Amino acid sequence: MLDVTVIEDPEAAAVSLDPIRARLLAELAAGPASAAMLAGKVGLPRQKVNYHLKALERHGLVELAGERRKGNVTERLMRATAASYVISPLALAAVQPDPDRFRDQLSARWLLALGARLVRDVGSLVTGAARARKGLATYALDGEVTFASAADRAAFVQELTAGVSALLRKYDAPDAAAGRGHRIVVAVHPTVRPQAAGASAPPDGSEEADRLDDRPDRPALFDQPKQTESRKRPDRTELPDRTELRKQPNQTELPDRTELPGL
């Protein structure tokens, strides 16, 4: 069983996201089991569990681990093909993030696009190496640092950029006949600590992100421009009292009908 494998096929991704099938995958990652054994754990009839297992097997998410006789029935013991799964952005190829569309080293969304491409590329390399039964040369470094201030973080980023750039200039050999290109991704982001059970506050990283985004080259969020004098609406002329509007100008009194000639 692999520690982690990548799901690239959209149909396989849809199958794995089904809650019942995801539960079955988790059970089979812990060890081989039959449909009858799983039925008691997930609270479904054996026939229903068998149906879900066949769907998982068709997409390579589970495999046959062995068979055993139980009375007059031969049980198939299934196991997960990996302890955990990652869905590649290739499963949503039409809308997968593309870091080449824009470049902003201070953008968290650009970092997400880089991370998505990392999952996609490494997933494809792992799948190809497994099919060819070859090894794959990769390296990763993971760590954590606590900055005393935003200024220290900015200085760290500058030194990190300078150091990595110097290494690239030193070892880059684009004209080497037998050279092999390697992608380098360096990322820094606030640590996300687990949220306490029952807490209503947002995840720790969101508040931290707001504080870390206090950069002089970016305007403060939600600051609205003050209304200029030219945009102020002129004072309205007060209308006269409604009772005044109802008053009519003095009218000349008509003579009595008897005084009119001919009547």
**Going by C-beta distance under 8 Å and a sequence separation of 6 or more, which residues neighbour residue 170?**
none
| pLDDT in the model for residue 3 | 87
| pLDDT in the model for residue 198 | 57
| pLDDT in the model for residue 200 | 54
Domain 5-86 has CATH 1.20.120.420: no
What 3-state class would DSSP assign to 91? helix
Q: Looking at residues 116-142, what average pLDDT do you find?
A: 93
Distance in angstroms (rounded) separating the CA atoms of residues 254 and 252 = 6
**Given the DSSP bridges, would you call strands 73-80 and 62-70 parallel, antiparallel or unpaired?**
antiparallel
Distance in angstroms (rounded) separating the CA atoms of residues 120 and 114 = 10
pLDDT band at 233 (very low <50, low <70, confident <90, very high): very low
Query: Please, are residues 27 and 34 in contact by the beta-carbon 8 Å criterion?
Result: no
Distance in angstroms (rounded) separating the CA atoms of residues 263 and 259 = 8
Least confident of 49-58, 72-81, 187-196: 187-196
% the chain with pLDDT above 90: 65
**Given the DSSP bridges, would you call strands 73-80 and 85-87 parallel, antiparallel or unpaired?**
unpaired
Domain boundaries, the chain: 5-86
Distance in angstroms (rounded) separating the CA atoms of residues 33 and 24 = 10
pLDDT band at 122 (very low <50, low <70, confident <90, very high): very high
Is 56 a residue whose pLDDT tops 90? yes
Query: Please, are residues 118 and 36 in contact by the beta-carbon 8 Å criterion?
Result: no
